């Protein structure tokens, strides 16, 4: 197995591939790396020049989107509807209000800011309009969107599909959002370490995972202090505040990386009861959730894709 | 005597009200209880394990809780997931 590791999208990126010509795989790594860097420039909310920043500024008017942006928005709207609004990328103002107004590295390296709370009008991402014929998008006036997680998952999957053209089996891991294509020769699964949310340096378990997408959402990974309170990046669209949840992390296996990422987030925000209700609607996904005491809760079918 | 009694009543009433208001302001501005520091756990979780122990298989709700058995792994795979 060949590996390439680098940093992008504020995350550690791991590319893995096997079963192919060494030089060709290395050139595949290089292409995948370029794709990831270009996609980051497109989807980041931390650059005023990114396509996402321009799209946010255009709220209230139709915006001509790139094919990549349109595809992610389309998928995001579908999943927002499917999760009854538990996934809502239109929470950027709430995220900024909670103090996540710069990259996490910048927040951690600067002094805490104190900002007075502002009244924020709730926006529902399900209400965006998409015109497939022209790749045009209309955000309702005032809507501000953060595509962080879903875009990262989508990018990982696209990069993996590119890498699959030059290898027999490959994986792309973007900070825990990963897409696995085929199985390495002689193997019956991919080995994936499930980080302990209470001690991220160590794994809670080694998961043996089937090809597909795996994503974990956690409230312990991206946290900071704002106005004297500990905050995390997972906004509950119902309250507009960082989610108060029974679980610390949820790991989801799904067919697409966007689905895995979105459902991990929705399950974590919703907690056990709603998670089971959402899960029953579509049992092609499987999840493992870790609570504050280290107990793990698995969907009925978790053992079909996660061999622990 | 009557004036002293009246004065005492006024003084006690005023002092009580003042103390009540001071207490009110004090508690209103006191630090709120600190949120749970999830990154510094008070409960240690089982770490790096392979097999599963069923805790309660009430799977009627679609899922059930369990814990990983305490069998430490000596390595960590290159692919890890833990939240982004």
Residues of B in contact with A273 (CB under 8 A): 61
Q: Output A237 or A176, whichever has higher pLDDT.
A: A176
The predicted pLDDT at position A292 comes to 82
Least confident of A133-137, A157-161, B45-49, B60-64: B45-49
Mean pLDDT for A16-32 is 93
**A200/B79 Cβ within 8 A:** no
The predicted pLDDT at position A172 comes to 97
- Residue A25: strand, helix, or coil: helix
Note the pLDDT tens digit of each residue in A254-296. 999 999 999 999 999 888 888 877 777 677 889 999 888 878 8
**A152/B55 Cβ within 8 A:** no
The answer to whether residue A308 scores a pLDDT higher than 60 is yes
A261 — alpha (psi -120 to 50), left (phi > 0) or beta?
alpha
The answer to whether residue A207 scores a pLDDT higher than 70 is yes
Q: Output A283 or A14, whichever has higher pLDDT.
A: A14
User: Among A66, A61, A229, which residue's Cα sits nearest to residue A135?
Assistant: A66
The answer to whether residue A222 scores a pLDDT higher than 70 is no
User: Among A265, A233, A247, which residue's Cα sits nearest to residue A85?
Assistant: A265
The answer to whether residue B27 scores a pLDDT higher than 60 is yes
- In the structure, what pLDDT confidence band is assigned to residue A111 with cuts at 50, 70 and 90? low
Q: Tell me the pTM.
A: 0.77
Residues of A in contact with B68 (CB under 8 A): 204-205, 296, 308
Q: Residue B81 is nearest to which of A195, A275, A277, comparing CB atoms?
A: A195
Structure tokens at A151: 């875009």
Residues of B in contact with A251 (CB under 8 A): 81
**B43/A296 Cβ within 8 A:** no
The answer to whether residue A103 scores a pLDDT higher than 50 is yes
Residues of A in contact with B59 (CB under 8 A): 300
**A205/B84 Cβ within 8 A:** no
Residues of A in contact with B44 (CB under 8 A): 198, 294
State how far the Cα of A35 lies from the Cα of A45, in Å rounded to an integer.
Answer: 18
Mean pLDDT for B75-84 is 80
Q: In this prediction, does ipTM exceed 0.85? A: no
State how far the Cα of A133 lies from the Cα of A186, in Å rounded to an integer.
Answer: 45
- In the structure, what pLDDT confidence band is assigned to residue A57 with cuts at 50, 70 and 90? very high
**A279/B84 Cβ within 8 A:** no
Least confident of A196-200, A295-299, B46-50: B46-50
The predicted pLDDT at position B51 comes to 38
- In the structure, what pLDDT confidence band is assigned to residue A298 with cuts at 50, 70 and 90? confident
Note the pLDDT tens digit of each residue in A114-159. 666 677 788 899 999 999 999 999 999 999 999 988 999 999 999 9
State how far the Cα of A134 lies from the Cα of B84, in Å rounded to an integer.
Answer: 33
């Amino acid at each position: 197995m060949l590996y390439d590791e680098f940093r992008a999208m504020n995350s550690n990126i791991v590319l893995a591939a096997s079963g192919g010509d060494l030089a060709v795989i290395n050139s595949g790594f290089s292409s995948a790396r370029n794709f990831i860097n270009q996609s980051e420039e497109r989807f980041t909310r931390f650059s005023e020049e990114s396509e996402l920043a321009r799209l946010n500024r255009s709220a209230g008017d139709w915006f001509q989107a790139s094919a990549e942006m349109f595809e992610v928005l389309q998928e995001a709207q579908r999943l927002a509807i499917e999760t009854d609004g538990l996934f809502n990328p239109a929470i950027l103002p709430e995220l900024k209000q909670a103090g996540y107004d710069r990259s996490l590295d910048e927040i951690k390296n600067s002094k805490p800011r104190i900002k007075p709370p502002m009244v924020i009008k709730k926006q529902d991402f399900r209400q965006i309009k998409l015109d497939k014929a022209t790749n045009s998008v209309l955000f309702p006036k005032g809507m501000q969107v953060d595509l962080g997680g879903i875009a990262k998952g989508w990018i990982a999957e696209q990069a993996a599909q590119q890498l699959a053209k030059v290898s027999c089996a490959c994986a792309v891991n973007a900070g825990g959002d990963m897409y696995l294509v085929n199985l390495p020769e002689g193997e019956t699964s991919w080995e994936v370490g499930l980080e302990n949310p209470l001690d991220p340096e160590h794994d809670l378990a080694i998961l043996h995972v089937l090809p597909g997408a795996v994503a974990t959402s956690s409230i312990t990974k991206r946290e900071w202090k704002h106005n004297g309170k500990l905050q995390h990046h997972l906004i509950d669209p119902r309250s507009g505040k960082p989610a108060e949840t029974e679980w610390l992390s949820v790991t989801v296996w799904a067919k697409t990386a966007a689905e895995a990422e979105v459902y991990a987030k929705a399950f974590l925000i919703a907690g056990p009861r709603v998670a089971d209700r959402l899960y029953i609607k579509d049992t092609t996904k499987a999840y493992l959730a870790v609570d504050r005491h280290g107990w793990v809760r698995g969907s009925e079918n978790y053992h079909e894709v996660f061999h622990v | 005597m009557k004036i002293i009694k009246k004065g005492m009543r006024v003084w006690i009433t005023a002092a009580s009200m003042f103390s009540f208001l001071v207490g009110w302001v004090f508690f209103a501005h006191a630090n709120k209880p600190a949120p749970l520091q999830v990154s510094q756990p008070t409960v240690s979780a089982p770490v790096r394990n392979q097999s599963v122990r069923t805790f309660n298989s009430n799977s009627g709700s679609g899922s059930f809780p369990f814990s990983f058995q305490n069998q430490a792994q000596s390595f960590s795979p290159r692919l890890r997931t833990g939240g982004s």
